[in-house]
A and B are shown apart, each in its own frame.
Chain A
Amino acid sequence: MISQIFILSSKGDHLIYKDYHIIMKHFRGEASKDSINVFYEMVTALSGDQTPVVMSHKDLHFIHVRQGGLYWVASTKTNPSPFTIIEFLNRLAALTKDYCGSLSEKSVRMNFALIYELLDEMVDFGYIQTTSTDILKNFIQTEAVSSKPFSLFDLSNVGLFGAETQQSKVAPSVAASRPIMSSRGEQSGKNEIFVDVIERLSVVIGSKGVLMKSDIQGEIRIKCFLPTSSEMRIGLNEELSIGKSQQKGYSSAVRVDECRFHQAVKLDEFDTFRILKVCPSQGEQTVMQYQLCDELPCAPPFQLFPSVQKDYVNRVLIFLKLRCDLPPKSMSQELSSPDQTAELQPKNKALLWEIPRFPGGAQLSALFKVDVPGLSSASLLEVGPVSMSFELAKQTCSGLQIRFLRLAPTQTGLSQRWVRYVTHSDSYTIRI
């Protein structure tokens, strides 16, 4: 049971505040708002990264997540499941992103009325009512204000859909099942659906180039702007095998260790044809999560050949040769991109080498000379590790592909379907 929900900017400004369960005798409106300040003081007093997710003040527990540079906080006097609260706050942030288009202090400030409206329907008396876009869209009346042209609901209709038309459109008792906003969506003309295969790669390569750890956390995410939901069929690689025991004889098999599906996914054709059937609701949702540990089907995308030497008295020479082992996608290769930058960050004791583009099969190298006062030969052992963060578009390391994406034929109007693949580096560490 949640007592309060509030959103704070990183500077502690109150963006959204709602309380549910403060009994009026003990707290008046203002007194209970003090708990926001208590929270902010506690969270900023913690040193550096040491932010425990749960903090307590008297009998009030604060649970918070950080998303989009904001604090999303729930407070409670009971002892609820931390997973529920954290996932709910994450979901609140995701819905805010869905409805406002983006997640930032500015978008939350501009759309505070919309977010209050969302919260009103999502939580009543401190109890989570629903977080499904299918249900919520029936109740949300405020249009998003967005600085970007990209928004869930078209803004050009503000004057057209006044309350009178709203009233007549809603039939009694079926408010929860009939979409009110569908007319708006159709008129916006953007019937798009995005299916993203997102993989987070976490790799540790030992000092001798040995692959020490590699695993992939993947998910298939749908972002749907279709006004009405109809069944969609997503076909995955037919040779996809799940679990270690199911390994097939030939090597081309795509394998994942385990996978889990969204509650709404129908799996009757999954076992034989590897087809997922789902009725996507508006907004973003994850239909499948999978993971793969150790045996990756391909080599890690980047190889590093480092050498660290002591120059003169107080100088370290760090020579890094970086090779991208992905197949070359285009013929034109920029071997030494002029846009590269490198800087020394004394605060983090780190060197930052930024490479804007890195074509497959290419090789880049850099030589850093760092003056270190009081350098000893033992200090060379302290150099490293190299941590890479990157995003590989059109690439999945597990080899998972979407064969086809079919919408049910009942779907009227033109709809655009997009399939995107991307691999992020969750943590890609190479020891020197």
Chain B
Amino acid sequence: MPYFGSEEMVKELKRALSNPNVQADRLRYKNYITKVIRYMTQGLDVSALFMDMVKASATVDIAQKKLVYLYMCTYASDKPDLALLAINTLRKDCADPNPMVRGLALRNMCNFRMPGMTEYIEQPIVAGLRDKASYVRRVAVLGCAKMHSLQPNTDIDGTIVNELYALLRDPDPVVVVNCLRALEEILKDEGGVVINKPIAHHLLNRMKDLDSWAQSEVLTFLLRYRPRSDDELFDILSLLDSFLQSAHAHVAVATLRLFLQLASAHPAVQADALLCTSAPLLATCGAASRELRFAGLCHVQQVMRSQPGLFGTHYKRFFCGYSEPTYIKFRKMEILVELVNDENVALVLEELRSYCTDVSPELAQAAIAAIGRIAQTYSEKCLDILTGLLALKQDHITSAVIQMFRDLVWFCPQSTAAVCQTVEACVDSPQDSEGKQALLWLLGEHGDQISSAPYVMEGYIDGLKTELSSAVKMELLTASVKMFLCRPAETQDMLGRLLHYCIEEESDVCVRDRALLCYRLLQRGVEETRKVVTGPKSDPSMSVLTGRQEEPISQWASTFNTLGPLSGCDLCPQTAVISAADQPSSSAEKELLPESTDVTLSSPDDTEEEISLSLGPPLSHETFEKMWLDLEILQRQTMGFPRPRTALDTLQAALQLVKIQTLAFTPGATVPWKAYIYTRSTGTLILAELLQGDQHAPGIDESLVVSVKQQPVNQHAIRGFVSILKGVLGDVW
């Protein structure tokens, strides 16, 4: 890489380019120009050669011209005064008899990013719009948009806009699409290009002439058109019907999105369209390009949210290939779990079983998690497989299996006996903290059914000094107390040792506090302790057993065929369970921890509104700050009363009671007073700021203002959140 001594390099090139002998030899000259571009691409600053390159642009060799123009566009903004010299040549080229030269010059002239360009390019663009060569018209149309982007704040030129609307009738299909694009950019502030009935119908009739890129783009523009009547709607749909089966996935998917949106009032039509597109979608899931495969899989997942049965018969298409990258395999397993039914369960399980011994531990654990989720419906078959896996004596497998056992017991209490038997028979224990926590929870919760439980636990207590994870220690404390309640004779001694160690020698404050809590609880008596420590032994809501609800199509149609499904921010909440190994506190697990059970016990349904808030895993300050900066304010509302005059920790406790977590607040009576809070609700995270005494809005300084941000957006949840917040603040005040 020529980063070193680059000045020498530039000087040498400069000498060569200005050498008359080189200039006379066209091939040599061009070679040097090529060299300049090569250095430019590599990131070397060759802007010093601008003058020589301008000279080189006066040539009849089109290939050389293209290279020089590429150079000029890159450096024009650095050397605006020199760039002006090039403009004369370019303007001359704009009048060349060869349309290719005209188009080339016009395109590159519009690409110069420097102030004051508009006066030079306006006239050639207007002339280009009426050029008889379609190639020049294409360039000129986009040139209008470029000209606008050079001066984004100036008034929109009405004549150009009208001319562009007129050019929508151009015979050349690319000119038509470019007009849409240019109008969209120019009229961005006014809501983009207007698709009225004549334009929509004109575009629909031209669909067949367009190439696939233009087709999918026009289909996206048509999303904003609303047909006047059902007759018109069905005319449009029948016109577009054939595109649902297009060989190009992007056209098929864009058509489907349009169908879903236009036919939002006709579920039967939507279902038909989904059925039609299932073939192209499935084909992308098996495409040679793995990126396309991934996009296909993500969209299949979206469709399955509303139509879980659509791909049921094609479940074999989602078997993982040996050489596929892990991110595709993960998606496929997620889909397989959703597709399980009575007929295919045996085959799917056999397939998943074979992934459990994969050399990649992450993949093996994900496969075990997938079996664990299927176990919530087909517990017997899955338990056999999971038990069989324990025989392999692989640490990562054992740990994942134990974690699945814990979840299974929580969600399907009927399998408790079988699980307890297996755990008892399982000789080796998991080595990672996730697995240890799961095992300890099982021992504590169901110690009465596992005869060896106290001895296993004693092993952990004896090895406490070498245990690094504080989460494991906390789980151990809770589990020992639970065990003490059901088998006091065997546990008393070791519980004493454990509490003694944790209170006297433990350096971690949280663990010590937990130990003190347990100790004081026990001081109050066994019955008191039992009341606090023991909660329900299984998921009281039974939500998972009933299966996932079929969502209405409108829930996801707006993000269909966008980057959303691929970038993962729109994932179903269940994925959190699969990646439990990476996330120390996934939501499922948090529910199992006793302290949150305490909260549910002490705050019965008095906060029950339309929506329910939950705390979920805690957010770090950094995460909160990052998200706060990234997100837009969705709602700002004046509370109508000043901030509560109570002590701040009372306020914090009150908010905690309704599952709103306080992250930070300004101390005392400082003005302006601020507090940042967050909470979760049905798959969305709500962030909010409370503010009093904002200098920028002096009129309302007495009253508290709440600003809400959210990810992903769910207006219903925001309304619920604000009303709960209002309620609790009002109460405290």
Contacts and interface: CB of A to CB of B under 8 A. Distances in A.
A90 interface: yes
Contacts of A291: 283, 286
Contacts, number: 258
Given A51-B325, A263-B212, A170 B98 contact: yes
Interface string B279-314: 110011011111110110000000000000000001
Given A50-B326, A61-B563, A125-B145, A86 B295 contact: yes
Given A29-B75, A65-B291, A263-B247, A385 B283 contact: no
Contact of A289 (B60, B139, B247, B357): B247
B347 A172 contact: no
B317 interface: yes
Contacts of A215: 286, 316-317
Contact of B322 (A81, A212, A385): A385
A260 B283 contact: yes
A84 B299 CA distance: 14
Given A120-B66, A202-B286, A427-B324, A61 B567 contact: yes
B561 A81 contact: yes
A81 B250 contact: yes
B77 interface: yes
Given A64-B291, A65-B291, A204 B319 contact: yes
A392 B354 CA distance: 27
A228 B138 CA distance: 25
A271 interface: no
Contacts of B42: 13-14
Contacts of A176: 133-135
Contacts of A28: 77-78
A175 B100 contact: yes
Interface residues of B, number: 101
Contact of A88 (B177, B213, B247, B347): B213
A144 B26 CA distance: 18
A124 B139 contact: yes
Given A117-B66, A204-B351, A429-B322, A173 B133 contact: yes
A211 to B, nearest CB: 11
A289 B322 contact: no
Nearest to B132: A173
A113 B220 contact: no
B292 A142 contact: no
Instruction: Indicate the size class of the contact surface on chain A.
Output: 35 or more
Nearest to B392: A378
A15 interface: yes
Interface stretch (B33-41, B333-341, B596-604): B33-41
A429 to B, nearest CB: 5
Contacts of A376: 393
Contact of A54 (B60, B63, B75, B567): B567
Contacts of B34: 113
A307 interface: no
A336 interface: no
B682 interface: no
A178 B371 CA distance: 61
A321 interface: no
B323 to A, nearest CB: 7
A169 B181 CA distance: 33
Nearest to B43: A14
Nearest to B26: A162
Interface of B (DSSP majority class): helix
Contacts of B217: 84, 127-128
A266 to B, nearest CB: 13
Contact of B99 (A67, A80, A175): A175
Given A24-B114, A86-B289, A141-B63, A431 B354 contact: yes
Contact of A350 (B174, B178, B354, B359): B359
A400 to B, nearest CB: 16
Contacts of A217: 283, 286-288
Contacts of B547: none
B43 A33 contact: yes
A295 to B, nearest CB: 12
Contacts of A129: 138, 174, 178
A81 B286 contact: no
Most buried by B among A81, A116, A120, A378: A81
Nearest to B62: A141
Contacts of B324: 427
B245 A128 contact: no
B712 interface: no
Nearest to A219: B288
A157 interface: no
A149 B586 CA distance: 59
A394 B374 CA distance: 43
Contacts of B322: 385, 387, 427-429
A10 interface: no
Contacts of B325: 49-51
Contacts of B253: 81, 83
A330 interface: no
B295 A125 contact: no
A327 interface: no
A298 B23 CA distance: 67
A260 B284 contact: no
Nearest to B561: A81
A213 B315 CA distance: 10
A14 B245 CA distance: 38
A340 interface: no
Contact of B67 (A52, A113, A262): A113
B329 to A, nearest CB: 9
A349 interface: yes
A246 interface: no
Nearest to B248: A87
A261 B245 CA distance: 9
Contacts of A261: 247
Given A65-B291, A117-B63, A50 B327 contact: yes
A61 B568 CA distance: 13
Nearest to A125: B142
Interface in B46-81: 59-63, 66-67, 70, 74-75, 77-78
A112 interface: yes
Interface in A17-72: 17, 21, 23-24, 28-29, 33, 48-56, 61, 63-67
Contact of A164 (B38, B60, B317): B60
A414 to B, nearest CB: 31
Point out which of B135, B245, B325 has the most chain A C-beta atoms below 10 A from its C-beta. Answer: B135
B99 A202 contact: no
Contact of A81 (B216, B327, B351, B393): B216
A258 interface: yes
A238 interface: no
A379 interface: yes
A421 interface: no
B249 interface: yes
A65 B279 contact: no
A286 to B, nearest CB: 8
Contacts of A54: 563, 566-567
Contact of A53 (B67, B317, B566): B566
Contacts of A128: 213-214, 217
Given A124-B142, A381-B391, A427-B324, 13 more contacts: A14-B41, A23-B152, A61-B563, A79-B562, A84-B216, A84-B250, A172-B99, A175-B98, A263-B211, A263-B247, A385-B354, A389-B323, A427-B320
11 contacts: A14-B41, A49-B327, A84-B217, A86-B295, A141-B62, A176-B135, A204-B316, A261-B247, A262-B247, A263-B211, A378-B391
Interface of B: 1, 26, 34, 37-38, 41-43, 59-63, 66-67, 70, 74-75, 77-78, 97-100, 107, 113-114, 132-135, 138-139, 142, 145-146, 149, 152, 174, 177-178, 181, 211-214, 216-217, 220, 245-250, 253-254, 279-280, 283-284, 286-292, 294-295, 314, 316-317, 319-327, 347, 350-351, 354, 357, 359-360, 391-394, 561-568
Query: What are the 3 tightest A-B residue pairs by CB atom distance, in nearest-first order?
Result: A427-B321, A387-B322, A83-B250
